[in-house]
Amino acid sequence: MTPKQVYYENLADSLIEKFNKRGIEGYYCSTREEALLTAKRFLTPGCSISWGGSETLDEIGLLDDLKASDYIIYDRHKAKTPEERSQIYGKIVTADFYFMSSNAITLDGQLVNIDGSGNRVACLITGPKNVIIIAGMNKIVTDVNTGIERVRNMATPPNVVRLNLDTPCAQLGKCANCLVDDCICCQIVITRKSRIPGRIKVILVGEELGY
């Protein structure tokens, strides 16, 4: 292994211990291919599945895999009207499995997430029976404040460009603490513990994934 791979593995071991104290299950995979296989091992025949917006899930091939599967899929992007979207959202919160990434993860095992509409963080907090988070080791930060700064200055600017939104950070490349209509930094959620032990599962990946 390279020095960076050894470092990632050692850091992941430490984080998994911190997760355990917080009622969160932690796993480490050295590659995105291994992460994909690990994520799918949790799924059960006939289960219902949904996900929150995430470049990481797309990069490891999970979304394409799920869409081609025989599982019950709740995909909000298939809604053609506001009414259909509302109906799908109602089903998503009852899903057996909900996939997402985390915008940042602190060295002591807390999850830092910032959202626009709030649907992703809402499902992280409550609703789906299992939440499976897949995150590259580039998401690890020292503490909550550093995590918030990371999201607002490193993750949000490329995200709003990807989504073709009109925000100051799309032009500046850094947070302007805006309150414009297209702002996606509307909800800030810090998860310090899973009230239901094992409901939240974090798969750490020894690669740089997502923003």
How many Å apart are CA 183 and CA 168, to the nearest integer? 9
**pLDDT tens-digit map of 164-180:** 999 999 999 999 999 99
For domain 3-205, the CATH class is alpha beta
CA-closest candidate to residue 92, choices 46, 49, 45, 43: 49
Residue 64's pLDDT band, with cuts at 50, 70 and 90, is very high
How many Å apart are CA 7 and CA 26, to the nearest integer? 17
Domain boundaries, the chain: 3-205
Coil vs helix vs strand at 194 = coil
- pTM score: 0.95
SS3 percent helix, strand, coil of the chain, rounded to 5, is: 40, 20, 40
**pLDDT tens-digit map of 119-136:** 999 999 999 999 999 999
